[in-house]
Amino acid sequence: MIDIEQQLRDAAQDLPSDAPPVTERAAEEGLLDVAYSSVDSPLGPLVVAATPKGLVRVSYTEFRGEDDVLEDLARRVSPRVLEAPAKLDRVRRELDEYFDGGREDFDIPIDWSYLAGFTREVLRATAAIPFGDVSTYAGVAEAAGSPRAVRAAGNALGANPMPVIVPCHRVLRTGGALGGYTGGLERKEFLLRLEGRLL
């Protein structure tokens, strides 16, 4: 008797596997809610993600795994998450220029809509701290409209979903101590050194 199932399995191994891409078509049809890509940097690999409105995430892959970041985006933004490096070319270019010392300000749009309330205010205030300058937790709390919410400001910065681009590394403790940093203090030091704030 013919083992037809085995024949089918063997034949299936020889079927082509070069399926056409779907991401471009998804974007054309307005179905690419979150585009992401990995980007190399002197601070190690990053995952960057954007909606059609702007950037929503920059994450140190060594600090938090890519799968974890993508699951979080699927939960918070939309499960329509697809790898689409071309959609992040501009972010990649601006980051490269920044790390090469050729750029002080980022021009890419940021999508703030997935951040709420005080967190959003704190991060917006942080985004306004210029290159080469620094502020304090108390300073950004005040700039965000709640001068006494220093601890809450610290929490908001600790949850910054777009480090480097939203420069939470420019926020130090009152008195000049470095404070904390998502991604590790050595990264904060690296960035402050790059901006001429540390030797």
Instruction: Note the residues at the interface with another protein (CB under 8 A).
Output: 1-2, 4-5, 7-12, 14-17, 19-20, 22, 25-26, 29, 31, 34, 36, 67, 70-71, 73-75, 78-83
CB nearer another protein, residue 83 or residue 189: 83
CB-hemisphere CA count at 13 Å for 57?
27
* Residue of 168, 172, 191, 192 marked active site: 168
Nearest to 56 by CA among 42, 72, 40: 72
CB nearer another protein, residue 71 or residue 97: 71
CB nearer another protein, residue 78 or residue 146: 78
SS3 164: coil
φ and ψ at residue 13, rounded to 5 degrees: -60, -25
CB nearer another protein, residue 49 or residue 123: 49
Residue that has been written with the tokens 């179905």 in this structure? 31
CB of 113 to another protein, least distance (A): 16
Contact (Cβ atoms closer than 8 angstroms) between residue 196 and residue 151: no
Cα separation, 83 vs 102, whole angstroms: 28
Burial 168-182 (b: 16+ CB within 10 A, else e): bbbbbeeeeeebebb
CB of 67 to another protein, least distance (A): 8
CB of 15 to another protein, least distance (A): 4
168 as an active site residue: the answer is yes
CB of 181 to another protein, least distance (A): 26
Which residues participate in catalysis according to the annotation?
A: 168
